[in-house]
Amino acid sequence: MKQMTCAQMGGPCNTIITGNTAEEMAKNGGKHLMEDHPEMAERMKNMPKEESDKWMADFQKKFDATPEM
């Protein structure tokens, strides 16, 4: 399992997000956004596909660079 902070994922706080895969962590990050930063979750939801694909590609790289716990 890996962990990243909300801030490392582009969010505004330091809550720890965990996941076994980039997809899982993105999903957990999304859940955290909806609970703690709903306005940001809304923005992510309305993001053009192109932009969210780019975010996911960047996030995948960051996830790969993060060491296993």
Quick check: 13 binds Zn ion (CB under 5 A)?
yes
d(CA 47, CA 20) in angstroms, rounded, equals 25
Quick check: 19 binds Zn ion (CB under 5 A)?
no
d(CA 5, CA 11) in angstroms, rounded, equals 8
The binder of Zn ion chosen from 2, 4, 9, 11 (CB under 5 A): 11
- Cα torsion angle, 58, 54, 1, 29, sign: positive
The binder of Zn ion chosen from 3, 8, 15, 52 (CB under 5 A): 15
Please say which residue, 4 or 6, places its beta carbon nearer to Zn ion.
Answer: 6
